[in-house]
Amino acid sequence: MTKRFFGTDGIRGRVGETPITPEFVMHLGYSAGKVFASTDRYLSKDERPAVLIGKDTRISGYMLESALQAGLSAAGVDVLLTGPMPTPGVAYLTCALRLQAGIVISASHNPFEDNGIKFFSASGNKLSDIIENNIEAGLNAPLISMPSAKLGRARRVNDASGRYIEFCKSTFPYHLDLRGMRVVVDCAHGATYHIAGHVLHELGADVVIIGAQPDGLNINQEYGATHSTTIQKAVIQHKADIGIALDGDGDRMIMSDKKGVLYDGDQLLYIIAKHRQQKNLLKGGVVGTLMTNLAIENRFNKLGIPFARANVGDRHVLELLQKKGWELGGEGSGHIICIDKHTTGDGIISALQVLHAMKDSGKSLAELSRGVTLYPQQLINVKVRKGFDFHAIASIKSAQTKAKRDLGDRGRLLLRASGTEPLVRVMVEGESKQKVKYWVEYISNALRKAENL
């Protein structure tokens, strides 16, 4: 069954346009509530299912939270509200509170005009395709409210942020602390603004917080993981040892060393994997994606660390990790998944794994990543009309063939449709920066020309 609304990471779009409207989201909450109630075999006959709702700091979160709450209540589902909470925090609390599901209102790294709905199962994982299809099927049914006596109730979760802070701290070794380390944390004016700094401070770090004044309109604006120059400048300005830049919903991060040199998700994944291998803590191998830099794969091969590529998206990384029985995977964008620490990607917890490697070894990021020189890689997003199928166009196939022939085994080419936006992403990497630049522009232009025919 082809999904109409669910993409690679829930449902996302521009606020006020279908599907991110209060009417649609209320019906979505109703349909999801019906599905969650019918699929939980542990509920007693008279027990109502319960769902957790968290959100990032977008102003539209208030509206969508109320719409979701109304739909869930009409379906006879109790609602627990956390207020602003990182996406991985919702996943954790859903498990910790033994709830039927968790819902996050967020569009991650997108601007404030966008928003989205993400779901977690009772186990803290993304929903299966079957469950997502069942929810979509329910959108075609009328919204018929339960009788008043069976409506769901709503309440706030006491100290949701405090519980999640303690959970994050528990993933850092008890015999280590961060004393003597000055850390700048960029919260992107997002969901970690009241959490990330406390985690690091309580572990002993001298913390400088930036991007922690959300006003509903400034999430991801000139701050966070998608605006890397901000953390680079802040680390140098505050004479810090390290910088951590999170995205709006806190499930990804990048880092900067004291010189302002950036380290992306590929490099940080390498640092964590190598440290675990040295400590005999690496279970199996590492999962990357089709976008993972070829230099990382080559380095893992030299270290004898098995490596596998999944489709782009943390959901696909997690699925392949579970299939192989491995524990560590991630993406260059900064999504890093440590299954032994959490059920989903978590920017704060991932940063703590890197800090663990630094404190345990006494080495800097530069020293820990020595031996890895990333291949030049360039990505261009080409806007296309909805439903545009580039696979069937001869001119694009020809452009790809030419590029692959020229790059040979010293580079890679990848074209893929975005799962959240009407875009085709063109990625080229290789040893030659000139060839990378030429072919990414060549293929992007071929796409634009074909799209306009």
Catalytic annotation, pick one of 31, 60, 73, 108: 108
Question: How many whole angstroms separate alpha carbon 330 and alpha carbon 352?
Answer: 15
CA–CA gap between residue 375 and residue 217 (Å, rounded):
36
Residue 123 appears among annotated catalytic residues: no
- CA 5 – CA 47 distance, rounded (Å): 30
Q: For residues 293 and 342, what is the distance between their CA atoms, to the nearest angstrom? A: 25
Neighbours of 130 (CB within 10 A): 11
CA atoms within 13 A on the CB side of 264: 16
What are the Cα distances from residue 411, in Å, to 17, 301, 406, 434?
Answer: 40, 17, 9, 12
Structural Rg of the chain based on CA atoms: 22
Element (H, E) at 437: helix 433-451
Residue written as token pair 């939980």 = 40
Name residues whose C-beta falls within 8 Å of residue 440's C-beta, 6 or more positions apart in sequence.
378, 379, 380, 426, 427, 428
Tokens, residue 133: 């299809």
Retrieve residue 115's tokens.
């928003």
The set of catalytic residues is 108
